[in-house]
Amino acid sequence: MITTILQIYRRTNYLKEQLSAIDAQTIKSEKIFIVHNEGGVQFDIPKRKDIQYFYISPNLKFHPRFALGLLAQTEYVFFYDDDTIPGSRWHENCINTIKKHDCLCGANGRNILPSLGQLCPAGWGKPSDEETEVDFVGHAWALRTDNLKYMWYDGRIHEPLNGEDIMLSANLQIYGNIPTFVPPHPPNNLSLWGSNPEKARKYGSDEHSHWLVRKEHYEEREQLTQHFVNKGWKLMYQKQ
């Protein structure tokens, strides 16, 4: 039913913890792809029949994992950043939400403001008992494998160093009329969450964090947002 794709750069020290969280899911993964971007680090590749290892050299950043997702032979495909440790019912939570809305799901939502700034309406950064439609999501993604093709319909990557999350949600909506949702993150039930909040904040704020080490990060994302809006991406504030 599920193929899970884990991307690694230099945070190899969290892989065992992440695999344990994947193995603990109430809905198991039939296949796990480990996508390792060249980063000058070595680690032991788990020797398991359900794991397939991909080494990408030179480092092509964030987009290739979503292309590899097209190889999945399962109904659903899940993607995880290397700083993300999901609760044990996260797969279940996403699939229930997808069945209801035929959507892309993610662990932390973002809405874009008219000024091209962002706010977080739902996810591990802002718990909620309800599923919430948002502009795009990050940290973890889940969708029907058949819908992943829409990410690539415009034929190119417009910002190869940034914005794969924006590209995914925007193109799914533009070409497939597929919305983006954050599943429920009840305040008192971490098993349903897309990421453990304390670990997400700690693991995602180290010296390998792209958003911290590249001064162009936010400018690139604003330009990419404007590109997709010009292509027909309808943002939440425009729907209200």
CATH code for the domain in which residue 85 is found: 3.90.550.10
Residue 42's pLDDT is what?
80
Neighbours of 133 (CB within 10 A): 16
Distance between CA 196 and CA 213 in Å, rounded? Answer: 23
Residue 207's pLDDT is what?
53
pLDDT tens readout for residues 195-224? 998 887 877 555 555 554 556 778 888 999
Closest by CA to 113, choosing from 135, 139, 131, 82, is: 135
Number of domains present in the structure of the chain: 1
Distance of CA 14 to the CA centre of its chain: 17
Distance between CA 35 and CA 121 in Å, rounded? Answer: 30
Residue 80's pLDDT is what?
97
Long-range contacts, stretch 233-239, CB < 8 angstroms, 24+ apart: 233/170, 233/173, 233/174, 234/173, 235/111, 235/112, 235/135, 236/111, 236/112, 236/133, 236/134, 236/135, 237/111, 237/112, 237/113, 237/114
Q: Domain of 139?
A: 2-239
**DSSP 8-class letter at 123:** B
Distance between CA 75 and CA 95 in Å, rounded? Answer: 10
pTM: 0.93
* Phi/psi of residue 184, nearest 5 degrees: -55, 135
Ranges of the chain with pLDDT below 50: 212
